[in-house]
Structure 1
Amino acid sequence: MANEKQFCHDYLFLKPKEVGFVDLILLLFYSNLEKLGFIECPEDSRHPNFRRRWLIFVSVVAQKCLGFLRKPMAAVGYLIELWLNLLSSNGGLLMLLINLLKGNLVIPDRSSAKFTSFLGNIDRRVDLDRSIQPNDRRYYPSLSLMAAKLSYENEAFINNVVKDHWKMEFLGFVNFWNDFQKSYSTQAFLLRDTKANPNVIVVAFRGTEPFNADDWSVDLDVSWYKVTNVGKVHKGFMKALGLQENHGWPKEVDRLSDQPPFAYYTIRQMLKEILQKNKEAKFILTGHSLGGALAILFVSVLVLHEETLLLDRLEGVYTFGQPRVGDEQFGEYMKENLNKYDVNYRRYVYCNDLVPRLPYDDKTLFFKHFGPCLYFNSCYQGKVRRCPLDIISLLF
């Protein structure tokens, strides 16, 4: 942890795996956090008011519960996806029963181009809207939406849709390493749209999977770092993007043959190589839920590293159901730089979606959205909202 403290001097780290019942009681009734082993913060921040301690309490309890539910949630998700794909692979319930009796039951392969995720079974659309052409101002948001949706599928499925349905070039699907979780828990894929003029590269980050407790824990976490001259940024999202456990955000990392890929550094290098071959091409960042947070934070690290060549080629960032990623200072920092590099940033929110309202936002905590919000109600009627979304208070 010492190295993390060198990266930033102001921070709040929650460690729900280390919390006990007595710790939670102490958190509510004692303002001195110094003796609580599951919280780390600077000495001058160890006496927060009750409202802040209550929100920390809610976050820790929620993450603790999700920790207990990790395996049951994964098992339920696995069985639901298997059942839905059994039905589709065998032609429906009746044919499934007939095939079972005949001994011809088709068992779906989870890595095949025909296997569909839970979200993919809910919404089976894979084709782009043919009424929206590349010269239409709605084209990039529409393409981004479908790419964000497609990111939840396996590599073979994505490859098939990009090549056979969209008639575009599939550039790769990668599982990225999280240096803190010690697992390959971040996913993204890249495609090239040659129909657009200029050509556009789309980077789509996978978002919060419905039955992945770790993803939900990241969304509910209120831990943060304060980056100098940038502002406070959500810790969990930074980790998923490729924050280095021992070094923070160095501009370069050692590229050893046996080193696992980190999302930010790997995608940045891929984009540089692709864009160098086509001097006119642009690129787009997109994602749904957690993926939307990674998309906009990717831009923030590009700015931090002064990657001017890439920022000049960034057409836009289109996120869907994106959670809050930082404080008001971070929002102003991002708005200034998005305007500087003429980057389109659009944040789409549907009705009462929970994720855009996380982490909690009230006068006690700092998490704030920034930029215009394209809000759609339950009747799919849209309007632009520039004020924060209202939430149900968690404070009594």
Structure 2
Amino acid sequence: MACDKGFSSSYMLLKPEEVRFFDLLRLLFSTKVEDRKFVDYCPDAAAAAEDVNFRRRWIIFVSILAQKFLLFTSKPLLWFGSGFESWLNLVSCNRNVGRLLLNFFQGKVVKPDKTSETFLSFIGNLDKRVELDSSIKYGDPRYHGALSMMASKASYENKAYIETIVRDHWKMECLGTHDFWNDYQEKASTQAFILRDKADDHEIIVVAFRGTEPFDAGDWCSDFDISWYELSGVGKIHGGFMKALGMQKNMGWPKEIEKQNDNDMNNTERQPVLAYYAIRETLKDLLSKNEKAKYILTGHSLGGALAILFPAMLVLHDESFLLERLEGVYTFGQPRVGNEKFGQFMEKQLRENDIKYFRFVYGNDMVPRLPYDDKDLMFKHFGTCVYFNRHYEGKIVEEEPNKNYFSPLGAIPMMVNAFWELIRSFTIPRKKGPEYKEGSFLRLFRIIGLVLPGIPAHSPQDYVNATRLGSSDVFLTPQDPNNSPENIV
């Protein structure tokens, strides 16, 4: 198969929409992956000389099967999610289930409006806090991390919610929210918003990418898609995340695109725009008006992956102005985005441009441990990993414990830890204050952790708590002489 994608020196592109089940089964018994019509495979010289082993073919099989299932169930999943979120908000609007029943019999049921500033997503119902921590002011080493996490949490909500929270509660400026186009999924499935934190002594622009919506099949397909592209001199990068950020079919990453992809973040009448290009042009415009202004990239889960890939594309396009003004990247529960070569390339670029990159991992969160870090998938983390245990004690580590999650020896300790997290949900308000109180919905979610500890540990609640309760020492840059082991909690 000819390798005609000029932006990539080698690649493996999975196409689940073109697969038939029996052809997919044949993949397990044939080492010639390139013979399958649903796998567009152009390996480098070393890989081309070797057959693809069974374990790697099995991983491709699972990835395509999962995506195929998600595509098949996308509408029912969306309908269920919409109904479930409406039910959660219906109960909330009427205070509780008992009051809802009483209002029903009295004909006084308060119905939620999905477009209103009070309507919360599934993620929002897990943690309803809207206020920033008033004790963490600008200048505190925790400030950017705490603000970034709250912005990452808010990114899951609708436009009215985001604008209201940023303006009325945070006293900042919301500069735009947008649904960005995914050229491969042919729909606007990538979301982000921009806010400005401006005062006499600083101006910080925050770009927050939304993570995986629990009932959005497109987001899950981006996560499960283990396609990869290798950029010469850069390394291999996760294809699903690149597609979500704005890669174009058969064009890849041209430095400039046609003018029809306008950078107006709030214009809903034009053709949908691509996230990377629209945000890049918006940042150039905003930063050019104040030479002292800086910006931050952030996101939770899938959003974290997009946040760290954004500067990678800036490097690819030699966007020195934006690289110089990038204050830092703060990601929370972020999955792996590339191979070891890519990690080494990015660490060099971040260091040369003096860009801070903190990758926050809480407890047994499953997502940062995916895709696997092994010889078959080759995905590796990089950057400064700030790991927090269930007591929200943080420390800087090279890699989070139990890096690939699934371990028979680790299962029981993780379940025991999940039990104590459930107990903590009842005790933490008395120890830390009423703002740390957890709702019944989150407690029900934590019960799932008794069987699957990695799922509730991915909740924004724990990441918000970690950025507020963790020691400020862990937010110092690794190059700072004060950031020695004895100063880290």
TM-score scaled by length of structure 1: 0.94
SS of structure 2 residue aligned to 1:7: coil
Q: Deviation of residue 259 (structure 1)?
A: 3.8
Matching residue of 1:391: 404
Per the alignment, in what secondary structure is the counterpart of residue 13 of structure 1? strand
Residue 315 of structure 1: CA displacement?
Answer: 0.5
Measure the CA separation in 1 of the matches of 2:246 and 2:4. Answer: 14
Structure 1: which amino acid aligns with 2:117?
A: A
Residue 45 of structure 1, CA deviation:
6.9
Q: Aligned pair 1:89/2:102, yes or no?
A: no
Aligned to 1:75: 79
Q: Which amino acid aligns with 2:384?
A: P
In structure 2, the partner of 1:162 is 166
**Partner residue, 1:24:** 24
Unmatched runs of 5 consecutive residues or more in structure 2:
263-269, 408-489
- CA deviations on 1:53-87 (whole Å, 9 max, x unpaired) are 12212222222232333223222211111011111
Correspondence for 1:363 among 367, 375, 389: 375
The match for 1:113 among 117, 129, 134 is 117
- In the alignment, the residues of structure 2 paired with residue 52 and residue 45 of structure 1 have an alpha-carbon distance, to the nearest angstrom, of 16
- Residue type at the aligned position of 1:76: F
Q: Is the 8 A contact 2:300 2:334 kept in 1?
A: yes
Give the SS at the match of 1:189: strand
Residues 170-218 of structure 1, C-alpha deviations (whole Å, 9 max, x = no match): 1110111111111111110011101483210000000011122221221
Q: Give the drift of 1:157.
A: 0.2
Counterparts in 2 of 1:150-229, with a 5 A limit?
A: 150-195=154-199, 197-229=201-233
Deviation, 1:22, is 2.0
Residue equivalent to 2:138: 134
Deviates more, 1:256-265 or 1:151-160: 256-265
Tell me, in whole angstroms, the C-alpha distance in 1 between the residues paired with 2:212 and 2:200. 29
CA deviations 1:31-58 (Å, max 9, x no partner) are: 1123311111127378312221122122
- The answer to whether 1:241 aligns with 2:245 is yes
Q: Distance in 2 between matches of 1:386 and 1:152?
A: 30
Alpha-carbon deviations, 1:94-151, whole Å to 9, x = none?
Answer: 3322322232322211111111111111101111111111010110001001000000
Distance 1:108 1:37, change over 3 A: same
SS in 1 for 2:399: coil
Change (3 A) 1:311 1:186: same
Greater Cα offset, 63-72 or 290-299:
63-72
Query: What is the distance in 1 between the residues matched to 2:104 and 2:352?
Result: 62
- Once residues 226 and 173 of structure 2 are traced to their aligned partners in structure 1, the CA distance between those partners, rounded to angstroms, is 39
Deviates more, 1:348-357 or 1:68-77: 68-77
Structure 2 matches for 1:226-305, cutoff 5 A?
Answer: 226-256=230-260, 258-305=270-317
1:33 corresponds to: 33
Say whether the 8 Å CA contact 1:134–1:196 is kept in structure 2: no
Q: Is the 8 A contact 1:198 1:281 kept in 2?
A: yes
Could you tell me which residue of structure 2 aligns to residue 147 of structure 1?
A: 151
Find the residue that maps to 1:253 and give its secondary structure. Answer: coil
SS in 2 for 1:66: helix
TM-score (norm 2): 0.77
What's the secondary structure of 1:126's corresponding residue? coil
Counterpart secondary structure, 2:286: helix
Percent of paired sites with the same residue: 56
Q: Quick one: which of 338, 341, 352 aligns to 1:329?
A: 341
Displacement of 1:287 after TM fit? 0.2
Paired residues of 2:132 and 2:147 also in contact (CA < 8 A): yes
Q: Is 1:318 aligned to 2:322, yes or no?
A: no
Structure 1 segments, 4+ long, off by >6 Å, are 1-4
CA distance in 2, matches of 1:4, 1:77: 40
Residue range with higher mean Cα deviation, 66-75 or 303-312: 66-75
Amino acid at match of 1:48: V
* Counterpart contact for 1:193–1:200, Cα < 8 Å: yes
Superposed CA offset, 1:14-36 (max 9, x none): 11222233223322222112331
Q: Deviations over 1:340-376 (max 9, x none)?
A: 1111100011222222122222122211111121112
Task: Show the counterpart of 2:13.
Answer: 13
Moved more, 381-390 or 242-251: 381-390
CA 1:259 to 1:212, structure 2 compared with 1: closer, same or farther past 3 Å?
closer
- Inter-CA distance 392–198: structure 2 relative to 1 (3 Å threshold): closer
Q: CA deviation at 1:5?
A: 2.1
The 1:83/1:244 distance shift into structure 2, 3 A limit, reads same
Q: Contact 1:3 / 1:245 at 8 angstroms: preserved in 2?
A: no
What is the root-mean-square deviation in Å for CA atoms of aligned residues? Answer: 2.1
Equivalent in 353, 356, 362 of residue 341 of structure 1 = 353
8 Å contact from structure 1 (residues 289, 320) kept in 2: yes
Question: Using a 3 Å threshold, how does the CA distance of structure 1 residues 280 and 3 change in structure 2: closer, same or farther?
Answer: farther
Q: Secondary structure at the match of 2:379?
A: coil
How many angstroms apart in 2 are the aligned matches of 1:4 and 1:116? 45
SS in 2 for 1:181: coil
Matched with 2:393 is: 381
Cα distance in 2 for residues equivalent to 1:34 and 1:179:
24
8 Å contact from structure 1 (residues 3, 247) kept in 2: no
Aligned residues: 395
Structure 1 Cα separation of the partners of residues 137 and 200 of structure 2: 9
Q: Matched residues in 2 for 1:196 and 1:62: separation? A: 51
SS of the counterpart of 2:137?
coil
Distance 1:239 1:185 in 2: 10
- Which structure 1 residue ranges, 5 or more long, are not aligned? none
Q: Distance in 2 between matches of 1:10 and 1:172?
A: 36
When residues 329 and 133 of structure 1 are mapped into structure 2, their CA distance, relative to the original with a 3 A threshold, is: same
- Deviation, structure 1 residue 4: 6.3
The residue aligned with 2:108 is: 104
